[in-house]
Structure 1
């Protein structure tokens, strides 16, 4: 995926907006941090739910997922955008959206509810 494709995928989420975090560009959902693209390596820093899940992703597919010492204490995976499966990323972003979106926004967008 390209940076523009990632931006389009994220900006299609309800409430998505461009912002900054610690002086760096990021995306937020109605003001709440969603993810950021690291300029150092064109990787998304995305909370994947748990350190255990992050470690599993890195172990299973190190060409896509990696970690730096800075992110080691957190449930964030670094995702190489040029190698990530777009469908996986879309589903992961939707999952993260459900965790950060305020209840009012989730209620206004029932199409974003988890399937099945």
Structure 2
């Protein structure tokens, strides 16, 4: 768990104007006050170690869940807004996880950061 959290933390905090705060007891990452990633380890006893990230919406969420159910799942509380959980336990494609975190940041970041070159 610690290695996964350290990876998520390092990846998220490398993005412009991000900060980490606890939200509902979880390490949560924000850009300009908007949440873009949350690390969860055995959240409410679900036995999963994941990072929750934004998608472009329910269509992308459904596509990811169908295409790769071993990697993606619906995160409690966040899934109605199109978020997905990305599995970060076992064999993990860390480049893929980093891309999902960065894409989530882009969906939450204000226009001024994106126009300035983003990530």
| TM-score interval for Structure 1 and Structure 2 normalised by the shorter chain | 0.7 to 0.9
Query: Residues of 2 paired with 1:111 and 1:26: CA distance?
Result: 20
2:69 matches 1:62: yes
Shift of 1:24: 3.3
SS of residue in 2 equivalent to 1:20 = strand
Q: Which residue of the other structure, out of 99, 102, 110, is the alignment partner of 1:91?
A: 99
Instruction: Describe the shift of the 1:72–1:93 C-alpha distance in structure 2 as closer, same or farther (beyond 3 A).
Output: closer
TM-score, normalising length: structure 1: 0.77
Alignment equivalent of 2:32, drawn from 4, 10, 30: 30
Gaps of 5+ in 2: 43-47
For residues 61 and 15 of structure 1, do their structure 2 counterparts lie closer, same or farther at Cα, with a shift above 3 Å needed?
same
Secondary structure class of the residue paired with 2:81: coil
68-77 vs 49-58, which moves further:
68-77
Distance of 2:63 and 2:15 partners within structure 1: 27
Task: Report deviation, 1:72.
Answer: 4.3
- Consecutive unaligned residues of structure 1, counting only runs of 5 or more, are none
CA RMSD of aligned residues (A): 2.2
TM superposition shift of 1:76 = 1.1
Distance 1:67 1:87 in 2: 21
Q: Could you state the TM-score of these two structures normalised by the residue count of structure 2?
A: 0.76
Q: How many residues align?
A: 111
